[in-house]
A and B are shown apart, each in its own frame.
Chain A
Amino acid sequence: MVEDIQEGGGEMIEVQDLTKHYGDVVALSGVSFSVEQGEILGFLGPNGAGKTTTMRILTGFIPPTSGRARVAGFDISEAPLEVKKRIGYMPENVPLYGDMGVERYLLFVAELKGVSRSKRRSHIGEIMERCGIREVARRPIGKLSKGYRQRVGIAQALVGDPEVLILDEPTIGLDPKQIVEIREMIKSFGGEKTVLLSTHILPEVSVTCDRVVIINQGKVLAQDTPESLAARLRGAMKLILQAEGPEEEIMEALRDIKGVREVKKSKDLGGQRAEYLIEAKEDVRREVARAVVEKGWGLFELRPDTAMLEEVFVQLVTEEEGA
């Protein structure tokens, strides 16, 4: 299911074969993807998939064990300072100096990012306006609510007008209203800036992103538009059945179940035992089990055939419901 990266012009972020080992732990193994100029790319995967590691490598916080990455044409290992000048980064959990005032902090960031002294105040003013934090400009960051804090996190990423925004879990821990507001804000960056955002929430990418890269256990599983990814998954439920009984009759009985599209024998296990692959539109496990048992055949195993991608999706969907 892993697709090749498409080669094309106007690539703002190019990641090739990135690996990262922490001692014996492999955090990333051969991650490749690219983000076009002006595109919003969602980085989707469960916790611990390697999203944060990838982002930390791109922002120059940690180096990769091997592989290459370029941001705006600059190699992250060869010209880290040039890369850092072109990236606005919001790390997960938005670490900010609690004792500093919002405006003071943004001015500090502006100075670090080389915004000229004469433009600093007006630049910061525009950003605070855009992020809706003007009314808390003088408050210490430590005293802000989670929602405001997140906005300050995005604001500091916007300082210096970087071409690339890298946002790690920008909506985590927010209430539904705040989530919608932050997503709207991120969408408004599309076209103007190249955005890489990570999330472990499936619907988030379909709402916000132009394209999505699915990552799990340090590997890219797929990259596509949210729509075609969803279409790929819709309606497909594969079951593996191990049963004992006359082959033809079993196949026929299974085909008679409502919702079953196709039945194939996948493995002969000796005697009358065999393994069957069932493709259905919906979850038909209950019906399959009943059919087999009612006929007096032996039922040895019945489980969904979860390809890697679907497994991740199942995990993602469950997490969203649990949250």
Chain B
Amino acid sequence: MSNYLAWRVEDFAFQTDIPTRWGDNDMLGHLNNVVYNRMIETIVVRFTMNPLKINWYTDPSYPVVVESLCRFHRSLSFPETVTACLRAGRIGSTSVTYEIGLFGEGNVMPAATGHFIHVFIDRDTQKSITIPDDIRSRIEAHGNIAV
């Protein structure tokens, strides 16, 4: 089993900062679990827009999520800013698995790790299709970084 706590920001090819908001904390005083999943979605969507350059409104094909997972290692809390990190894991014919880490402000160990699986579908037929070549090559450029 992977040692998820050993994941570091530098191991990821794509990073983005996400500020927390007052309303993200629940009654236990830290970010509600659903918000972590929202951050995972946020970094994946940012990645699809740039560098993948997917236009969610007009492209003839686009990705849909078929699976997501989050492991919660330590709590995050408003008002810290979270550094969300992404790298491409398994790249299949029609699907890609993104590996995600969420890091709290000033922490080298991840607060959460997880994955998010996209399947590309045709906008009209809603059937899965092969990942377009230009998008695939951009995904491949953001794969695992040799540590």
Q: Do A and B come from one complex?
A: no
